[in-house]
């Protein structure tokens, strides 16, 4: 490893030399990059789905732990946001009624979650 002399270390404090480690960019280039980023993020296609729809998509997973955690979070959302609960219940019912890749044990777990949400809503 190359060692710096004490004199060069002190001189580095007073005299700025351009080295490979300096990755500074000019201010106008930084502004252009920032504007390009803002434009790209504003034009991005962000989903307008409800927040729970991504969780419902997880019910089609083949892993039981993913399904269990998705149902847990859907149950908590329905309990905390009572106006969303009927929409979550209808989405869960449609998961049960469709002949999709949801296993029978997962469908039973979904039915159990619907019952819990219904009981909580009727209180």
d(CA 82, CA 75): 11
d(CA 37, CA 34): 5
Asked whether the predicted pLDDT for residue 3 surpasses 80, the reply is no
Q: Please indicate, yes or no, if residue 93 is contained in any of the structural domains.
A: yes
116 — pLDDT class (breaks 50, 70, 90): very high
113 — pLDDT class (breaks 50, 70, 90): very high
pLDDT value of residue 1: 47
pLDDT value of residue 33: 83
Domain count, the chain: 1
In the chain, which ranges are continuous DSSP H helix? 6-14, 27-42, 51-57, 64-80, 85-97, 104-121
Q: Please indicate, yes or no, if residue 30 is contained in any of the structural domains.
A: no
d(CA 123, CA 111): 19
Do 59 and 95 meet the contact criterion of CB atoms below 8 Å apart?
Answer: yes
Q: Please indicate, yes or no, if residue 10 is contained in any of the structural domains.
A: no
Q: Please indicate, yes or no, if residue 91 is contained in any of the structural domains.
A: yes
Q: Please indicate, yes or no, if residue 39 is contained in any of the structural domains.
A: no
Q: Please indicate, yes or no, if residue 81 is contained in any of the structural domains.
A: yes
Mean pLDDT, the chain, rounded, equals: 80
Determine the structural domain holding residue 106 and report its residue range. Answer: 51-121
Q: Please indicate, yes or no, if residue 62 is contained in any of the structural domains.
A: yes
pLDDT tens track for 39-86: 777 755 555 567 788 898 888 888 889 999 999 999 999 999 888 899
d(CA 46, CA 55): 16
Do 108 and 118 meet the contact criterion of CB atoms below 8 Å apart?
Answer: no
Percent of the chain with pLDDT over 70: 74
């Amino acid at each position: 490893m190359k060692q710096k002399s004490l004199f060069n270390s002190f001189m580095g404090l007073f005299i700025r030399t351009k080295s490979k480690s300096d990755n500074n960019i000019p201010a106008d280039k930084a502004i252009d990059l920032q504007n390009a980023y803002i434009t790209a993020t504003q034009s991005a296609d962000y989903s307008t789905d409800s927040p729970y729809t991504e969780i419902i998509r997880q019910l089609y997973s083949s892993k039981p732990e993913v399904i269990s955690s998705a149902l847990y979070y859907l149950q908590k959302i329905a309990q905390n946001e009572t106006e969303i609960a009927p929409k979550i219940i209808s989405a869960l019912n449609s998961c049960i009624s469709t002949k999709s890749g949801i296993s029978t044990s997962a469908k039973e777990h979904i039915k159990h979650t619907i019952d819990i949400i219904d009981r909580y809503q009727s209180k």
